[in-house]
Amino acid sequence: MSRLIVVSNRVAPTQPGRPAAGGLAIGVLDALQETGGVWFGWSGEITGEAASQTRSPVIERQGNVTYATVGLSRRDYDQYYRGFSNATLWPTFHYRNDLSRYDRQEYAGYLRVNAMLAKQLKTLLEPDDIIWVHDYHLLPFARCLRELGVKNPIGFFLHIPFPVPEVLRTVPPHEELVRAMCSYDVVGFQTEADCQSFVDYVERGSCHGSVDEAGVLYAWGQFLKVAAYPIGIYPDAIARVAQQFTARKPVRSLREGMHGRKLIMSVDRLDYSKGLVERFQAFERLLLGAPDWHGRVSLVQIAPPTRSDVQTYQRIRQNLEGEAGRINGRFAQLDWTPIQYLNRKYERNLLMALFRQAHVGYVTPLRDGMNLVAKEYVAAQNPEDPGVLVLSQFAGAAEQMPGALVVNPFDLSQMAEALERALSMPLAERQARYTDMMARLRENNLSVWRDTFLGDLRRVARASAVARNVVRRVDATAYGRQGSALGSRY
Ligand code: ADQ
């Protein structure tokens, strides 16, 4: 069996007792630990300029996973990570063009670091390796590897949304980026809608690309498979730890501190895409419209800071603290604080047990690729007395979780109504919704995500060798007939 090489911006080795940060790390690590393989990417360290040019990857083995990491110089970090990745692509891909900026030098840095990482990875590659690249930091990574002569199968999975063409076009090098993405053998998205946005861009763009029913896309002389591969979790493992950790002290403290009140819980990285301010305001609207809930319900928001050196992230933190203070000032009583805002990370197992205490999982991002918290919240519930998920229609998870109360996070009144409905929902309805969602979570668990993607990558890689030979012989304009014939091979 060929070796799996996972590539992502940040490599996050497991450290017992330390929480892994972010959905990508959790999804990738769980997937990699089962199959074994190599995880390559940035170590998280900033090194001197000279060292980052000459250094080769640092190798560390833990169990069946080999971690291969490289440092970035300050300039690389500022241009590639803080700049083009997180100040241009992240906001735009989350439909926040208003927060996005474009700087040519940052883009040049983004391309330079992709090329540098590709060069470093090449030194580790064996001919049979299969390469799986993750997320928006690495859109042009396959093109960089191909330019170095790498022939291995390379797949790409985008963890965040892919915007509709009109929004994507606000990023000046949009065409160069999409063209580079077409160097992958498989490009995967979280949802059908994201995949469709990519196809729309390619079909309407200057390259006049086309896609067939099998999801085989032809553009700029390349064939690739495009599809939605919604990321999952291991729901039964989460259910087990949520139950096991229920007796732990922080969980007991939370339960006892509620004094029989209902608990609404939200857990997110502190990010403007997560809709935290709107969420607080909708909770305020619930308290305004339903005074009988005063003193009987609290909202606990857990939100550890991320990317705290990016300016917009400092602003969101101030905003949120301001809103929590204002709402608490308005409604709090001597023995009741409506919003508890905890600016910290929790160990993962403990977090699952905290979810189990909550009557409502309140997950309302303005945009989100998938949102694993929504899935984890449901999996952590007690089947005898499950809580209710209130979920934004703009989280990828909404495509897969019809048992949630799905809301528009821009409609504060609708969110307040959904909270009230969730808090008062009869047991039979809660159980029916929970059972439906658990069945779906089991059916589309994390192994299914990984195995479907890698299965397609292996198939496409075999077929693309054939396709490349054919393409050499046919004129690209004849694709209509030829493309369908190739499609059937995938
Ligand atoms: P994220 O934006 O990080 O991930 P999400 O999917 O919700 O968002 O994953 C967050 C993960 O971090 C969850 O597993 C959660 O349990 C954990 N977490 C959050 N807050 C925590 C805390 N305070 N302490 C400990 N753990 C915490 C990106 C995309 C998402 C996509 C994932 C996976 O933005 O849309 O779902 O990748 O593909």
Catalytic residue list: 159, 368
- Is 490 among the domain residues? no
CA atoms of 33 and 256, how far apart (whole Å)? 37
Picking from 420, 283, 399, the residue whose alpha carbon sits closest to that of residue 338 is 283
- Same domain assignment for residues 208 and 280: no
Q: How far, in Å, from the CA of 397 to the mean position of ligand 1?
A: 12
Give the tens place of pLDDT for each residue, 304-317. Answer: 877 666 677 778 88
Closest-lying ligand 1 atom to the alpha carbon of residue 397: 36
- Is 481 among the domain residues? no
Only one residue has tokens 């922080």, namely 250
CATH code, 285: 3.40.50.2000
CA atoms of 352 and 345, how far apart (whole Å)? 12
- Is 39 among the domain residues? yes
Picking from 249, 247, 344, 331, the residue whose alpha carbon sits closest to that of residue 297 is 331
Give the domain extent around 254. Answer: 235-443
Q: Which residue's C-alpha comes closest to atom 32 of ligand 1?
A: 23
Q: How far, in Å, from the CA of 158 to the mean position of ligand 1?
A: 14
Q: How far, in Å, from the CA of 369 to the mean position of ligand 1?
A: 10
Task: Round the average pLDDT of the chain to a whole number and report it.
Answer: 90
Tell which one of 138, 372, 378 to mutate to probe ligand 1, the residue whose CB is within 8 A of the most ligand atoms.
372
Query: Measured at the alpha carbon of residue 71, what is the angle toward residues 68 and 75, in degrees to the nearest 5?
Result: 150
Q: How far, in Å, from the CA of 372 to the mean position of ligand 1?
A: 6
- Is 484 among the domain residues? no
Q: Evaluate: CB of 373 within 6 angstroms of ligand 1.
A: yes
Q: Evaluate: CB of 352 within 6 angstroms of ligand 1.
A: no
- Is 199 among the domain residues? yes
Q: How many domains, the chain? A: 2
Closest-lying ligand 1 atom to the alpha carbon of residue 161: 35
Closest-lying ligand 1 atom to the alpha carbon of residue 303: 23
pLDDT of the residue at 466: 65
Q: Who contacts 479 (Cβ-Cβ below 8 Å, separation ≥6)?
A: 210, 218
- Same domain assignment for residues 246 and 392: yes
- Same domain assignment for residues 38 and 182: yes
Q: How far, in Å, from the CA of 51 to the mean position of ligand 1?
A: 32
- Same domain assignment for residues 260 and 188: no
pLDDT of the residue at 478: 46
pLDDT of the residue at 377: 98
Q: Which residue's C-alpha comes closest to atom 8 of ligand 1?
A: 23
- Same domain assignment for residues 54 and 175: yes
Average of pLDDT values for 164-173? 98
pLDDT of the residue at 486: 42
- Same domain assignment for residues 214 and 257: no
Tell which one of 95, 132, 134, 370 to mutate to probe ligand 1, the residue whose CB is within 8 A of the most ligand atoms.
370
- Same domain assignment for residues 117 and 244: no
- Same domain assignment for residues 277 and 416: yes
For strand 388-392 and strand 360-363, is the pairing parallel, antiparallel, or unpaired? parallel
Residue 240: pLDDT band with limits 50, 70, 90: very high
- Same domain assignment for residues 80 and 216: yes
Which tops the pLDDT comparison, 204 or 364? 364
Residue 208: pLDDT band with limits 50, 70, 90: confident
